Amino acid sequence: AWMTSFGVIFALVIAVTKDLPDVEGDREGNVETFATRFGVARVSLAATLALVANYAQSIAWAYGPARGTFFRPALMVGSQAAMAALLIRGWLRARKASFTQEALKAFYRLIWLVFYLQYLLFPFA
């Protein structure tokens, strides 16, 4: 159940944020996306908060009914906190760069990086 809910939330965030780096092209082509409708700052912040909440629910699972059975709490807490911190740092960097196309590309790559790190971590957690 944990991996399913974690993966679904991540998939939704990836689907929404994939348009961030090309928001100008979407505007020029009159393509309506979350980024063109609500702005890259709001969409990227919402994505970051959703993923941070996703990591928080992972920590809750590690200390919930599955504790000691499926998860190593210390590893889960440390890894999930580190990945959440990376995402927050990535969003802050994008904001500091005024959400330029390059900054948004870097932010989107970071989302994929922590996604794949999670799958690499799963057998050990």
Q: What is the pLDDT of residue 65?
A: 67
With b meaning 16 or more CB within 10 Å and e meaning fewer, what string describes 53-68? ebbeebbebbeeeeee
DSSP string, 42-104: HHHHHHHHHHHHHHHHHHHHHHTTTBTTTB-HHHHHHHHHHHHHHHHHHHHHHHHTTT-HHHH
pLDDT digits (tens, 9 = 90+) for 78-104: 999 999 999 999 999 999 999 999 999
**Residue 49's pLDDT is what?**
98
Q: For every one of its 125 residues, what pLDDT tens digit does the chain have, with 9 covering 90 and above?
A: 778 888 999 999 999 999 999 999 999 999 999 999 999 999 999 999 999 999 999 888 887 766 666 677 888 889 999 999 999 999 999 999 999 999 999 999 999 999 999 889 877 76
